Amino acid sequence: MISKAKSITHEHLLSIIRTEASRFFHRHTVRILDVGCGDGSLIGYLTGTLEVFNPSITFEIYGFDVYDHGVQQDDFLTKTIDDLSLKFPAVAWKTRITSISVRERWPFPDEFFDIIISNQVVEHIDDHNMFFFEINRTLRKNGYSVHLFPLKNYIYETHLNLPFVHKIKNYDILIKYIKFFSRLGLGKYKSHSSESGISLDEYAERHADYMHYFTNYISYNEALKLAKKHRLRISFRYTLELYIRKFTTMLSLNPKYEYEKKRSIFIDWLSLLVLKYISIVTLFLEKKETYRQK
């Protein structure tokens, strides 16, 4: 029995892990890290489903989040641990889930994880150089890392539901831009105003602060350079599958929990060429290198 996922992205990550499971058939235990685990819903979903598909593998799932980012409530991970402990009491979640400062290195040994994942976290990371460094450091050789997030390239920013708002760095222009489009009826101001009575001036200032302090998008080319710098193979395989999954969900069709491993590189490239401007991509990183000078 497969538990219900909170979102399509959770199902998508599960399907990728299942598709790539063959590389770990020689291992009894596979460790997974959820970066920016938040309320733990993704960890809970994977805990309840992975061993249904792969009963011969024991999955140890870990997670961490930052306590000083400014968006989450204080001590929010206590509730995450309590919720996971209620659902899966046999797991010592207090040793699996932790919080760190946004400036700290990840609290795990070198080459500790087989798989590292995140769900719509990368666009909020302050230091992407450190992020890629820590992936390389904590990932085992031949392990992989999957991250779902929108690139800077995309047009319609979904936190505010406004076009190109994430590309504006001048704060005064940013506030005016949010006000202008809000007056046209675009974005989220209308719904926020009806719920809370917030004024347009206050809304524009608060959300300009959100975009300025709490988002940090990288482009396709920046992702390529960071992966190369930190000696990680990079691709965007499985991006198209996420959009196919969205479409099949709209049609109420049963989801696929395993993707095709034999891929058309041309179709992957062509789909990414378009989809990186629409919304989320699937960044796939591998810690593997076969060339050695003899």
List pLDDT tens digits, range 252-270.
888 788 999 888 999 999 9
pTM comes to 0.94
Cβ contacts of 138 within 8 Å, gap of 6 or more: 33, 106, 108, 109, 110, 111, 112, 113, 116
Please state the domain extents for the chain.
8-151+218-286, 160-214
For residue 227, is pLDDT > 90?
Answer: yes
Per-residue pLDDT reduced to its tens digit, 45-71: 999 999 888 888 899 999 999 988 666
- At residue 293, the pLDDT reads 61
Instruction: Name the architecture of domain 8-151+218-286.
Output: 3-Layer(aba) Sandwich (3.40)
